[in-house]
Amino acid sequence: MEYTPPPKPQLSSRANAFSIAALMSSGSSKDKESPESTIKPLEQFVEKSSCAQPLSDLSSLDPHGDFSSSPSSLCTEPLIPTTPIIPSEEMAKISCSLETKELWDKFHELGTEMIITKSGRRMFPTIRVSFSGVDPEAKYIVLMDIVPVDNKRYRYAYHRSSWLVAGKADPPLPARLYVHPDSPFTGEQLLKQMVSFEKVKLTNNELDQHGHIILNSMHKYQPRVHIIKKKDHTASLLNLKSEEFRTFIFPETVFTAVTAYQNQLITKLKIDSNPFAKGFRDSSRLTDIER
C-alpha cells in the first residue's frame, strides 16, 4: 500500500517562490524572498494557456462525478480558454503525463483532502509529471499553480460522510506560482527525467513570507502544471508576451484544502501510503498497555 515512486530518475526540487518579474528578469531566480508586491496575478498565465479547461466545468463535488470519468492522465486536448489562443505548432507537440496517477485515482475516489498549515504542509500524493514532444536543445521553465474550482465554500457532514456546499467562497487570496526549482530545464532533461513537485507547500497564512501556495480552507482546488519555452534573449517581464505556454490539468488531482482531515477514509489512505505517516499504521501503534 505504501506508495513508492517509479524508478524513472527524478530531479530533486527545492522550495522556491517566484514572482513573474523575478522569473523573467533572471531566467533562473533562486531568491526565496520575492517581495509580495511583485507577484502578479495568475491570469497573466491563464490568458496564455493552451490547454486550460474552463474552471466552471470542474465544480462537481461528487467524487464519483465528472472527474472519475476522465479516461486518462495524459492531458493532450487543447481546451477552450476565455480568450482562445492557439499554441505554436512547436508547443502543440508537447504532452505531459501524470506519473503518480494510480495513487491520485485512489484518493480521488474518496475525495482528496490536503492539509494546510500556517508554516506550510507538503502535498500528498505528490504531483510528478513527464513531458514528451519537447525540443531537446531548448530550455523550458516548468511551474505549478493551484486555482479554485468554483466559487463555493464547503463543510463536511460527518453523519452522512459527504461534503456539502456551505456558502459562497471566501475572498480570493494572493495567487502564487511555484516555479520548479530545477528550472530552467533543457528539453533533454525533461525527456529523461520526471519532474517532481514534492517540495511545494500549502499554507492558509495570507501573510506567508516563504513563498508557499496560499489557499482557503474548506475550498476546492485544481493544481495545474505549466511549461514555458524560454528564449535566451528574453530577460524582462516585458518580453513575457513572446514566451510560449502550455498548461496541463489533471482532473484526478483536484482536492479540498482542510486544516484537519474530515473524511476518515482519507486519513487512513494517507497513513497507509505516505511513508512519513508510517508511525500511525495499525501494526506500529502502541496499545494503552504497551505504553
Partner DNA sequence: GTATTCTCACCTAGGTGGGAAGTT
Partner DNA sequence: AACTTCCCACCTAGGTGAGAATAC
Nearest alpha carbon to residue 111 among 147, 69, 68, 57: 68
C-alpha cell of 125?
A: 500524493
Using CB under 7 A as the binding rule, whether residue 115 contacts DNA is answered as: yes
- Residue 204 contacts which entry, a copy of itself, DNA, none (Cβ below 5-8 A, type-dependent): DNA
Q: Go through 207-245 and write b for each residue having 16 or more CB atoms within 10 A of its CB, e for each that does not.
A: ebeebbbbbbebbbbbbbbbbbbbeeebeebeebeebbb
Closer to DNA by Cβ: residue 64 or 210: 210
Contact pattern for DNA over residues 185 through 224, marking x by CB under 7 A? -------------------xx-----------xx------
Q: Tell me which residues touch a copy of itself (CB under 8 A).
A: 9, 11-12, 14, 26-32, 139, 182, 184-186, 188-189, 192, 232-233
- Residue 233 contacts which entry, a copy of itself, DNA, none (Cβ below 5-8 A, type-dependent): a copy of itself
Closer to DNA by Cβ: residue 29 or 203: 203
Using CB under 7 A as the binding rule, whether residue 106 contacts DNA is answered as: no
**Residues of span 140-169 touching DNA by CB under 7 A:** 155-156, 158, 166
- Pairing mode, if any, of strands 139-148 and 185-186? antiparallel
* Strands (E) located in 27-161: 95-98, 113-115, 121-122, 128-132, 139-148, 152-157
Q: Which of 8, 64, 210, 278 binds DNA (CB under 7 A)?
A: 278
Phi, psi of 59 (to 5 degrees): -90, 5
- Pairing mode, if any, of strands 10-11 and 194-196? parallel
Closer to DNA by Cβ: residue 139 or 220: 220
Report whether 58 contacts 79 (CB < 8 A). Answer: no
| Closest distance of CB 4 from DNA, Å | 8
Binding positions for DNA, rule: CB under 7 A: 115, 117-118, 121-122, 124, 155-156, 158, 166, 204-205, 217-218, 258-261, 267, 270-271, 274-280, 284, 286, 291
